Amino acid sequence: MPEEIEISNRQAEEEVVTPQDAEDAAQDAEGAESSENPEQSRQTHEDNRKYQAARKAGEDAGYQKAMDEVNRRLAKTGMRDPKTGTVFTNLKDLERYAKAVRDERIQKRSEEEGRPVQEIIEEEDARDYLAEKKAEQQAAQQQKAAEDEMKEWITQDVANFTTEYPDVDVTKLCENKSFQRFCGSRFGKEPMAELYADWLDLVGSAQKAAVAKKDSKTSRSTGTGSGAGSETLTAAQQRNLDEWNRENPDQKMTAKEFLSRL
């Protein structure tokens, strides 16, 4: 009988399942369902483990890099422990100091008010929690108010733009890469009508310079030209006009309009 009990106990010890064993078994089962090949299942399980290890290593490295930067900046401030005069060189030392100050303050309150330390700790924790939630709510309200104000401003700005430039498609204009690059950080802060007017001046000047340069070469090589009062374009001018109209479909120009910008 003792021998049977010993064998039974030994079997029970061998059958104890650790959390890691459970995780491995689950992953093995998943691999078995996805493939009937045992070798492939083991390979999948091993790949998963390597992936998880690599991901954790990356997360740890990123966290450590961030903490190193925090500690570097903290040390640069030159903050010192008032009692020892030691410069805080890492966040952990600063947190330990803050905890010691808090514990000392709570102990003093406990003695002065005749109340248990734990009661005061819970009271301060509840107060800090409520203050934090209140700050979060105020921040959320301020953000929503700012977003609502921006939406209202944009709506009114688009209406003003449409009134001033009724023939321009606002959606296509905002999707125009050239216009986006020109506006940069000014977009959404300055009236679109003003941005559009400035942009037209810019592209008009650039187009005029490009046309003049090409026309100058054409005139020298062919000896032909065209007066500004005529709607007849040279070959070079026609190419520039066609190029402009292709790149700016919402601002197409006729030959007369094109020449008026020269």
Residues 189-202: tens digit of each pLDDT: 899 999 988 888 87
Q: Which domain holds residue 224?
A: 165-260
The pTM (predicted TM-score) of the whole model is 0.39
Q: Sorting pLDDT into bands at 50, 70 and 90, what band is 9?
A: very low
| Residue tagged 């402009």 (tokens) | 244
Phi/psi zone of residue 85: left (φ > 0), alpha (ψ -120 to 50 degrees), beta? left
Q: What is the pLDDT of residue 212?
A: 53
pLDDT in tens, 160-186: 999 999 888 888 888 888 888 888 888
Assigned token pair, 17: 């399942």
Instruction: Give the pLDDT of residue 173.
Output: 87
In a domain, 218, yes or no: yes
Is 92 a residue whose pLDDT tops 90? no
In a domain, 205, yes or no: yes
Number of domains in the chain: 1
Rounded distance between C-alpha atoms, residue 101 and residue 228, angstroms: 83
What pLDDT, on the 0 to 100 scale, is given for residue 18?
45
Return all residues near 199 (Cβ < 8 A) that are at least 6 apart.
Answer: 178, 179, 182, 183
Q: Is residue 236 included in any domain, yes or no?
A: yes
> What is the distance of C-alpha 200 from the center of its chain?
32
Q: What is the pLDDT of residues 202-259, one digit of tens each?
A: 777 655 555 555 555 444 444 444 443 446 778 777 887 888 788 777 777 888 877 7
Task: Examine residue 33 and state whether it is found in any structural domain, yes or no.
Answer: no
- pLDDT mean over 102-130: 90
In a domain, 122, yes or no: no
Across 10-39, average pLDDT: 48
Q: What is residue 251's DSSP assignment?
A: G
Compute CA distances 252 → 137, 193, 239, whole Å.
50, 18, 14
Q: Mean of the per-residue pLDDT values for the chain?
A: 75
Give Cβ neighbours of residue 60 (< 8 Å, ≥ 6 apart): none
17 in any annotated domain = no
Contacts of 198 (CB under 8 A, 6+ apart): 182
First to last CA, the chain: 112
